[in-house]
Amino acid sequence: MTAFSTLLGIFPLATATGAGAGSRQSLGIAVFGGMLIATFLSLFVVPILYIVIKTTSERFNKQNRYQQLPANSSEDGI
């Protein structure tokens, strides 16, 4: 919600007209674009990356667990 309100607040700066509009537009477009990309990354890419890393980690740990389990052997003489 905060990101969307920031985007809406910066939008007039990105579409500025009049005296000094060039510097306002360049600053507004840079901030607007940065916030838009940061919002996209935090809403979509980060959760997907978390799921991928967690799934990979679970698979890796599952394989190691099966490799480390001792086999049933009768070496101890019981």
User: What residue ranges do the domains of the chain occupy?
Assistant: 2-68
Residue type, 30: A
Q: What is the pTM of this model?
A: 0.62
Residue 61 is predicted with a pLDDT of 84
Where residue 71 falls (left for φ over 0; alpha for ψ -120 to 50; beta otherwise) is: beta
Cα(78)–Cα(61) distance, integer angstroms: 32
Residue 69 is predicted with a pLDDT of 58
**Radius of gyration of the chain measured on its C-alpha atoms:** 27
Residue 78 is predicted with a pLDDT of 57
Residue 66 is predicted with a pLDDT of 65
Which residues of the chain register pLDDT less than 50?
none
Residue 59 is predicted with a pLDDT of 87
Residue 36 is predicted with a pLDDT of 92
